Amino acid sequence: MDRFPRAAGRRPKRGRLSRSAEFERVYRQGRSVGNRFLVLYSFPRSSAGEPADGTRLGVSVSRKVGGAVDRNKVKRLLREAFGMLADRLPADQDVVVVARPEVRELAERDGLEGVRGALAELVEKSVAGGEPEAP
């Protein structure tokens, strides 16, 4: 029996990008869309010859966003918001979400709904095949 059961909304470890090489591949070979709060990079794993076993997420929050407490709060909100939106993306995508400093104010003001709205905007742009933007 598992002593520490996983929280209901938490993504399994295999659904996350963890290695630096995985992040680099998405940054270099993927497409990006952005808004005032976030930048979303996406890369189809099928083009790298890997199996499609669900969308994998990587989150990058720099110290410009704030201290450790603020960064962890933003990461937690981004993961939860992505869990609500992941079914809108193809199953073979690797996605990296980069938080811009303005996201801290959004998270404090509007919480999960604000972060989800900003992320949903980028997911829709990404799925629609919008023009890549420079971060």
**Spatial separation of the C-alpha atoms in residues 61 and 72, rounded to whole Å:** 8
State the pLDDT at residue 18.
87
State the pLDDT at residue 91.
86
Q: Supply the DSSP string of 79-129, one letter for each residue.
A: HHHHHHHGGGS-TTEEEEEEE-TTHHHHHHHHHHHHHHHHHHHHHHHHHHT
pLDDT digits (tens, 9 = 90+) for 65-96: 999 999 999 999 999 999 999 899 988 899 99
Contacts of 125 (CB under 8 A, 6+ apart): 33, 40
State the pLDDT at residue 51.
64
pLDDT digits (tens, 9 = 90+) for 3-58: 545 555 554 556 889 899 999 999 999 999 999 999 999 999 876 566 667 889 99
The residue among 63 and 2 whose pLDDT is bigger is 63
DSSP state of 16: B
**Whole-prediction pTM:** 0.82
- Distances 28 to 17, 101, 119, 133 between C-alpha atoms, Å: 15, 22, 21, 13
- Distances 130 to 9, 13, 63 between C-alpha atoms, Å: 29, 29, 29
State the pLDDT at residue 1.
45
pLDDT digits (tens, 9 = 90+) for 109-121: 999 999 999 999 9
Q: How many other C-beta atoms are found inside a 10 Å radius of the C-beta of residue 118?
A: 24
State the pLDDT at residue 45.
83
Sign of the Cα torsion 9, 60, 35, 66 reads positive
E strand or H helix at 76: helix 68-85
